[in-house]
């Protein structure tokens, strides 16, 4: 047996990891920061049973590895500190990163918080204020749960009937199609979907309540705004955008949160009207779902992020490539 081959492979892998570490950190040179975007942290079996889209979760084991890899080479800061530097034009710490979660899932409190607390790390959770502590999930999750149990041919036919004709994954295609509809049109399509498929099993409480959010805040996690109802803001008139953002801010303040006036645009969608309205209402910075690094001198109302989920970040090399 050639014992040299596995040794050479291990050495090459170590050199590759070291090079990726250096390359990723070199980009975060004091003028840029990586704002990491997560959604859910839950075991793979729970995600599969609940029809959670692969791009929406990391397992607790993967998330723990991410934190350890970050702690080795990078500087994890609260998002509000990074936003303040970006807004003022001040230099950032080398290797600056921030951890963010969208939507306010209960598993953030159950599975992510203990891992963050154990390492003394900060994070920001963006919550949909009118959904805090309510049953069920969001409509994309409902679509996934209705379609996932069906045979592939049934998924395709149903997606076609609901307007998402064409190739590709019918689940992804249908969700993207529904995102482009008005609230009324989307509601009608969802009603049709419910009428043609079995009712999914009740998953129990999935969104954190105010007491769980307060527990997270007491551990150093910032609770900030992700809209009032999760309505997609781009395309709404000014009064509707203002109502979504003002209601969210007021609700957060009433519960002792939203202190740093940060916003995550629902679905990442924004335009000039949305950004201007958010700024006029007192939001200091806002994050998108656009992929990239946040830069000093960039627009603080459209900060890009690095999306992380289990399918693309289980290994150190994959994780570092996402940062790069």
- 99 and 175 part of one domain: no
> Is the separation of the CB atoms in 257 and 212 below 8 Å?
no
- 171 and 230 part of one domain: no
Per-run averaged pLDDT (10 residues), the chain, 324 residues: 50 58 84 97 94 94 97 95 92 95 98 98 98 93 93 94 89 94 93 93 90 98 98 95 98 98 97 98 98 94 97 93 88
- 164 and 75 part of one domain: no
- 186 and 169 part of one domain: yes
Q: Which pLDDT belongs to residue 8?
A: 47
> Is the separation of the CB atoms in 278 and 286 below 8 Å?
yes
Which of 158, 178, 196 terminates a domain? The answer is: 196
- 29 and 165 part of one domain: no
- 34 and 67 part of one domain: yes
H-only helix segments in the chain: 4-27, 44-49, 60-73, 79-88, 106-107, 113-119, 139-147, 152-161, 170-179, 183-196, 210-218, 238-254, 272-280, 310-313, 316-323
Q: How far apart are the C-alpha atoms of 303 and 233, rounded to whole Å?
A: 16
User: Would residue 1 count as lying in a domain?
Assistant: no
Q: Which pLDDT belongs to residue 165?
A: 85
- 310 and 244 part of one domain: yes
- 308 and 161 part of one domain: no
User: Would residue 2 count as lying in a domain?
Assistant: no
Q: Which pLDDT belongs to residue 160?
A: 94
User: Would residue 5 count as lying in a domain?
Assistant: no
Q: Which pLDDT belongs to residue 81?
A: 96
User: Would residue 109 count as lying in a domain?
Assistant: yes
- 161 and 186 part of one domain: yes
- 116 and 261 part of one domain: yes
Q: How far apart are the C-alpha atoms of 159 and 169, rounded to whole Å?
A: 10
User: Would residue 259 count as lying in a domain?
Assistant: yes
Q: Which pLDDT belongs to residue 15?
A: 54
Which of 156, 175, 196 terminates a domain? The answer is: 196
- 237 and 264 part of one domain: yes
Phi-psi region of 170 (alpha: psi -120 to 50; beta: other; left: phi over 0): alpha
Q: Scanning the structure block, which residue is given the tokens 């997270």? A: 216
Total length of the chain: 324
User: Would residue 102 count as lying in a domain?
Assistant: yes
**What 8-state DSSP symbol labels residue 55?**
G
Query: Looking at residue 88, which CATH number applies to its domain?
Result: 3.20.20.370
Total of domains in the chain: 2
- 126 and 225 part of one domain: yes
Q: How many CB atoms lie within 10 A of CB 8?
A: 11
Q: Domain of 76?
A: 21-133+206-323
User: Would residue 12 count as lying in a domain?
Assistant: no
Q: Which pLDDT belongs to residue 205?
A: 87
Q: Which helix (DSSP H) or strand (DSSP E) does residue 102 occupy?
A: strand 96-103
Q: Which pLDDT belongs to residue 202?
A: 83
User: Would residue 306 count as lying in a domain?
Assistant: yes
Which of 196, 214, 231 terminates a domain? The answer is: 196
């Amino acid at each position: 047996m050639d014992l040299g081959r596995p040794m050479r492979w291990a050495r090459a892998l170590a050199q590759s990891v070291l090079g990726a570490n250096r390359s990723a950190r070199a980009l975060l040179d004091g003028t840029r920061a990586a704002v990491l975007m997560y959604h859910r942290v839950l075991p793979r079996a729970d995600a599969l049973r609940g029809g959670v889209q692969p791009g929406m979760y990391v397992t607790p084991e993967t998330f723990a590895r991410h934190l350890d890899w970050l702690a080795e080479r990078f500087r994890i800061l609260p998002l509000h500190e990074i936003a303040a530097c970006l807004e003022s034009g001040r230099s950032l710490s080398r290797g600056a990163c921030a951890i963010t979660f969208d939507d306010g899932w209960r598993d953030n409190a159950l599975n992510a918080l203990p891992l963050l607390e154990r390492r003394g790390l900060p994070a920001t959770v963006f919550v949909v204020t009118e959904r805090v502590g309510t049953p069920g999930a969001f409509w994309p999750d409902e679509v996934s749960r209705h379609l996932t149990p069906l045979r592939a041919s049934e998924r395709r036919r149903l997606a076609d009937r609901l307007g998402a004709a064409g190739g590709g994954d019918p689940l992804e295609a249908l969700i993207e199609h529904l995102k482009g509809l008005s609230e009324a049109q989307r509601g009608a399509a969802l009603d049709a979907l419910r009428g043609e498929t079995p009712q999914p099993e009740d998953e129990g409480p999935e969104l954190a309540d105010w007491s769980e959010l307060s527990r997270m805040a007491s551990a150093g996690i910032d609770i900030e705004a992700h809209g009032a109802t999760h309505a997609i803001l781009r395309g709404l008139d000014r009064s509707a955008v203002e109502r979504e953002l003002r209601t969210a801010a007021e609700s957060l303040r009433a519960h002792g949160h939203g202190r740093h006036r940060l916003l995550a645009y629902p679905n990442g969608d924004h335009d000039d009207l949305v950004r201007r309205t958010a700024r006029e209402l007192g939001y200091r910075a806002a994050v998108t779902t656009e992929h990239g690094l946040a830069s000093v001198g960039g627009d603080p109302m459209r900060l890009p992020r690095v999306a992380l989920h289990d399918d693309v970040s289980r290994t150190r090399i994959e994780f570092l490539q996402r940062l790069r």
